[in-house]
Amino acid sequence: MKRTGNRNKNVRKFIPAARIVFAASILLIIVLLVQFGAKAIDEKGAIETKQETIHVPADNTASAADSSSLTVGIFTALNAKAADTQTIVKEGITGKEIEETETPKADTIKEETVEAESEETDASDIDYMVTDYAITVYENVKNYYSNDRVNIRTGAGIMFDRLDTISRDSKVEVLGETDNGWYQVKHDDEVGYIKMDYLQEEEPGTEYIFAGDSRTVQMSQAVDKDDYEWIAKVGEGFSFFSNEAVPKIDAEAGSGSTIIINYGVNDLYNAEKYIKLINKKVDSWIAAGATVYYAAVTPVSDYPTITNSDIEEFNSEMKSGLDSRIGWLDGYSYLQNKGFSSGDGLHYNSDTYKTLYTYYMNQVAAQKEA
């Protein structure tokens, strides 16, 4: 029988279309399955990242039934059997746990760092860690002196109550010492504790000794520091420094003293004499425990007999000639940059003296910390 090609052509026409529809259906099913799986994984990860479990310490609850639940996102508070340990468990996306355990110890003072809050906070209160301590009592009582304003406390640590506050150069009886760095002391018939760093066997010298001329006299009046030694006289220079100031400095200088010398404006021609005498005395002052500074002669404004160029020459000679152990306080440059107020061209107003004094104190403090 003779065959024609018409029937076979129609069948062949529909086979490719059916295959395409079938393949598209399979692809659609795969895409839907992938999207569904991804959504399920994302939801599970979101739950895991929000979950945090806290076991409440026993002193807040007696059993798991007494626990309270807090929820932030998904946040559950659980409690195991009463215990003296607080455990915090945190879970992240990886499921990795971070555990922190805090166990209170009986009769132990919590360690704490205390920052100075005001000018009334004494030096021993700053950044000191408090712990348990044992006391070693001395066979013989010792007499010590305070080298700073310091508190006496009821126990060997800043967490104890303040019993009293004593000023620098106060004498106390030392009865013993603790193994955490404090002395047991007796002061005004009361027993207390002072940190070891602030007591010493030798009596300290005067904290600050200023020696100078009329400008130093007026600075003392402006800052009103009666506990400092001010060895100064109006109109004076090298003769007063040599005959009166130096012997007084010798008598006052001691452990912890800071000596600030500021002569020259009345006798700028005597730089060589000042250098020779100060360099001769510096060994004994340092041996006594003092730190020595020379304060540069400060500027004038339109003064008939003194020029700033003369002052600069004097200061340059002094700075280069003085012993290297003598600190240099460059009040001249400071006031030239900062500005100053002078009524007669030579002396300053009260605010300028206060500003200059603050500069001196800041420079000295910076050297102590260096």
Q: What pTM was computed for the model?
A: 0.60
- pLDDT at position 213, please? 98
**By three-state DSSP, how is residue 350 classified?**
helix
Residue 289: left (phi > 0), alpha (psi -120 to 50), or beta?
Answer: left
- pLDDT at position 94, please? 31
Domain ranges for the chain: 52-102, 123-200, 208-369
- pLDDT at position 176, please? 95
- pLDDT at position 37, please? 64
Query: What Cα–Cα distance (Å) separates residue 301 from each residue in 331, 342, 353?
Result: 15, 7, 15
Residue 88 has pLDDT above 60, yes or no: no
Query: What Cα–Cα distance (Å) separates residue 40 from each residue in 47, 64, 195, 199?
Result: 11, 32, 63, 70
Query: What Cα–Cα distance (Å) separates residue 154 from each residue in 109, 139, 161, 191?
Result: 14, 22, 6, 8
- pLDDT at position 98, please? 31
Architecture of the structural domain at 123-200 = Roll (2.30)
CATH of domain 208-369: 3.40.50.1110
- pLDDT at position 16, please? 61
Over residues 280-310, the pLDDT tens digits come to 999 999 999 999 999 999 999 989 999 999 9
Please tell me what DSSP assigns to residue 2: P
CB contact at 8 A, 308 and 316: no
Over residues 232-250, the pLDDT tens digits come to 999 999 999 999 999 999 9
Q: Out of 53-67, 134-148, 202-216, 321-335, pick the least confident.
A: 53-67
- For the record, the structure tokens of 286 come out as 């340092």
- pLDDT at position 169, please? 87
Residue 106 has pLDDT above 60, yes or no: no
Please tell me what DSSP assigns to residue 305: S
**Between 10 and 93, where is the model more confident?**
10
Residue range 341-367: mean pLDDT, rounded: 97
- How many Cβ atoms from other residues are within 10 Å of residue 304's Cβ? 8
- pLDDT band per the 50, 70, 90 thresholds, residue 211: very high
- pLDDT at position 362, please? 97
Alpha-carbon span 318 to 323, nearest angstrom: 10
Residue 52 has pLDDT above 80, yes or no: no
Query: How many Å separate Cα 181 from the centre of its chain?
Result: 20
- pLDDT at position 28, please? 74
Q: What angle do CA 330, 332, 333 make, to 5 degrees?
A: 75
Residue 127 has pLDDT above 50, yes or no: no
